[in-house]
Chains A and B, each alone.
Chain A
């Protein structure tokens, strides 16, 4: 990024203005970027690499699905329905004050708390395939990368945060909030990595990475917090109405 500084005195103010302008300029399409990496952006080699990273995680999730559905016959319908619910929650538009547009939650943190990270990866891979095929969100060539950022990073970071905080004996509200928040941020960090890898061209990877990350910040910072609140609120609602359903979703395993 080449930005010639002119007057040192106005530097900070200008930097703020530029960040804001760049933020708004990029924010709108960045939503589409951020959610999933669009079809065709990744060079073939990167697309293949991300697939190679994603497939073992999906396979791991599928093995868990097989194991748990042998014990509990209702498990596959349950995972399918939780998947449908999370898909719909992730389609609910939420206004992002900093961008002046609507964005969408990921829902992966919530899913990971409900059915565990392994199965969340499976569900995410299906949701991403459906979106790529029928909604032109994300893509088939970028499916691997999207599974890694949304499924793997989102689910495992979110679930990890939840698990550690619960282990420490801290309240579930805090665990759920951080699970939502961190799964969201992890997804965007990972998306930035794969985008930067594809876009830096001849230039520096880290410069491109920081540019993309900064472009995400104005929308993703609040969105992550929102996602944390969503996680807590939704779980609180289920816990107060039908706590037995949460046990059923966990299938005695979590």
Chain B
């Protein structure tokens, strides 16, 4: 039910997990911009290829890759269909469905495919980032980028307690199921709202205990953050190299597409 985060890979030691999170964030951001602004499918698909190859090289289980990419893939399929049949002017072919005729159009197909490529390219960039950078490193990096401390503090607590509450809610849900709480529709509804209510109660009570524990260790309203070391020379070179490569790819595409 709650098999949500699989951040176990981010704690492995490999060439990518060792890179400073700030560098990874900047590179990912640049890659996202390049993908989203691409005018031909080739650049996003190239990015997709690189990311998937890297993910495979890191030996991330294919199951996880499929799980993460399934939703975006179905979105891509719908995008292509919608765009093909709804936008554009040059007819390609016509489908008859339940007495209605739908005409596919060339511009729509092109537009849909491009959008689909954008989605796949962008999703793969973020997916790669997410399997080589643990959440707390991203929070640290965001702090360096001057993201609001309050936002980060709430984010850290949220991230941590999602796991705690998840365990408890899974137990509650299992207990409800054992007592046949989800059989009839009406009862299922009540079980569901009870579960949600219990989650809220748990969370509010937990917040009191957590705050007590924080206070006992000197919390005075602001969570302290450790310093972030300077970006190493090696990571700086990686950053420069990646940015140049991305910029070059983007410019090349721009030149080709005119």
Contact = CB atoms under 8 A, between A and B. Distances in A.
Nearest to B133: A133
Given A29-B74, A40-B120, A88-B199, A81 B161 contact: yes
**Size bracket of the B interface:** 35 or more
Interface string A100-140: 00000000001000100000001101110110111111011
B99 A7 contact: yes
A77 B210 contact: yes
B199 A245 contact: no
Contacts of A44: 33, 36-37
Contacts of A65: 150, 154
A167 interface: no
B119 A39 contact: yes
B145 interface: no
Contacts of A79: 154
Secondary structure dominating the interface of A: helix
B151 A85 contact: no
Interface stretch (A148-156, A157-165, A184-192, A199-207): A199-207
A140 B98 CA distance: 39
A142 to B, nearest CB: 9
A136 B72 contact: yes
Interface string B68-80: 1101101101110
Nearest to A31: B71
Nearest to A43: B36
A110 B51 CA distance: 38
A136 B127 contact: yes
Contacts of B68: 135-136
A85 to B, nearest CB: 4
Which one of B5, B32, B203 has the greatest number of beta carbons of chain A within 10 Å?
A: B203
A33 B150 contact: no
Contacts, number: 287
A114 B82 CA distance: 39
B247 to A, nearest CB: 15
B193 A237 contact: yes
Interface stretch (B55-63, B103-111, B226-234): B103-111
Contacts of A234: 193, 196-197, 200
A136 B74 contact: no
Interface stretch (B12-20, B211-219, B235-243): B211-219
Given A62-B150, A202-B107, A140 B32 contact: yes
B77 A29 contact: yes
Given A38-B123, A85-B203, A249-B204, A237 B197 contact: yes
Given A10-B99, A199-B79, A248-B204, A140 B126 contact: yes
B99 A33 contact: no
Interface of B: 1-2, 4-5, 7, 28-29, 32-33, 35-37, 44, 68-69, 71-72, 74-75, 77-79, 81-83, 85-89, 97-103, 107-108, 111, 115, 118-123, 126-127, 129-130, 135, 138, 148, 150-151, 153-162, 164-166, 169, 189-190, 192-208, 210-211, 214-215, 219-221, 223
11 contacts: A39-B32, A77-B207, A81-B210, A83-B157, A83-B158, A88-B169, A136-B68, A137-B71, A140-B29, A141-B32, A201-B87
- List the 5 shortest-distance A-B pairs measured between CB atoms, nearest first: A233-B193, A237-B197, A80-B157, A40-B122, A85-B203
Given A1-B86, A41-B118, 10 more contacts: A29-B77, A74-B208, A80-B153, A88-B199, A110-B200, A123-B158, A211-B86, A234-B200, A237-B194, A237-B198
